[in-house]
Amino acid sequence: MTLAVDIRHRRGDFALQARFEAGAGVTALFGPSGSGKTTLLDLVAGLERPDSGRIAIDGEALVDTSTGGWIPSHLRRIGYVFQDSRLFPHLSVQQNLDYGARFARRPGQAPQRQRVVELLGLGALLDRRPGTLSGGERQRVAIGRALLASPRLLLLDEPMASVDVARRAEILPYLARVREEAGIPIVYVSHTLAEVARLADAVVLLEAGRVVAIGPVADLLSRLDLGEASRGAEAGAVLTARVAEGSDPARSPIPGGVGSDPSSAITILQHPAGEFRVPWTGQAPGSTVRLHVLARDVALATGAIGALSIRNRLHATIVEVGPAHGGVREVRLDAGGEALLARVTAETVDEMELRPGLPVIALIKSVALER
């Protein structure tokens, strides 16, 4: 199933022009506040009509201004999860979920409620009212309600914007499970790179109402030509690693923590460029893990390395050295076939003679890597 968008729209003084396609998995609309992300979701959902253009799902036009075609929002079979969850406060969690199921086009096609409850970890919350839930719990219920409406497309508008840092860490694994198991395209709005790196398969980068770049998440986040304004302090890359096999689960500090070194509670992740040792536990052996590695957390070395507290050392080759900005330069690396970014001073580039084709060791602190 594919969402195709080609529209122009004006809201007051703000002009939006967007053309892109979103297929299976999660497509993130990423950009600074005011770039048009939420406006674009409202247009897809049918909460607004574009001034001109066409929006379609698998070739079926939801709106086409050239023909006058228009499908009302309640008939589009699109699930929309807002920043503030918008649950019914007088209903229990179970009743909120049942409300979503009522909107399934054909009741027999609606996902089984038990499956959604298990997917989002809602079992212990069913009898509670929204007012007694944490922000993360409310958003999980809102996602469950949207899924039970049997949507063909799910829209998530910064679902963690009103959630504190601890609750974000709680809800991210559930969103990752929805991405893997829901089986429908998901359009995810965010201005936080850590969320995009963890969840997205593809990224549509918006700035001032225009699409300035589109591509796979790993490719787009590691590009040097998009500028500091698009990535800022969170600039980095996405690496994919696999949890190592071979540890004894009986001796693991956490039950089921296979793939960890039980004496130090360190999980070993295997990557083509080297080995990661991270302070995590409970990771299933053989499972795949995404790592968002910030450019500022990557140091570079050439030649032999002596005793050093940084345990993660990846063999890489410099692909590109970006221009200097305020005495800082970004270096794009090829690490086992994946892109990796390092942010170093311009002085370092000159002294180490960093240049394309030069083999280096990328050093990454274990404590800088989050799940």
Q: Between these two residues, 18 and 118, which has the higher pLDDT value?
A: 18
* Three-class DSSP labels, 208-223: CCEEEEEEEHHHHHCC
Let me know: does 159 contact 175? Beta carbons within 8 Å.
yes
Radius of gyration over alpha carbons of the chain, in Å?
23
Let me know: does 29 contact 37? Beta carbons within 8 Å.
yes
Average pLDDT of the chain is 86
β-bridge pairing 153-157 and 78-81: parallel
In this prediction the pTM is 0.83
With CA atoms as reference, report the closest residue to 148 among 111, 182, 178.
111
Query: Hey, do 3-221 and 237-368 end up sharing a CATH topology, with the first three levels equal?
Result: no
Pairwise CA distance, residues 365 & 299, whole Å: 9
Domain ranges of the chain: 3-221, 237-368
296-333: pLDDT as tens digits? 999 999 988 877 889 899 999 999 999 988 899 999 99
Pairwise CA distance, residues 73 & 75, whole Å: 5
Pairwise CA distance, residues 150 & 158, whole Å: 21
Domain 237-368, classified CATH 2.40.160.50, yes or no: no
Q: Between these two residues, 233 and 58, which has the higher pLDDT value?
A: 58
pLDDT for the residue numbered 180: 85
Read off the tokens for 265.
Answer: 């509670």
147-187: pLDDT as tens digits? 988 899 999 998 888 777 777 777 888 888 888 888 889 99
Pick the CATH number of 3-221 from 3.40.50.300, 3.20.20.120, 1.20.120.520, 1.10.620.20: 3.40.50.300
Pairwise CA distance, residues 267 & 111, whole Å: 35
95-151: pLDDT as tens digits? 999 888 877 655 544 567 888 898 899 999 999 999 999 888 898 999 999 998 889
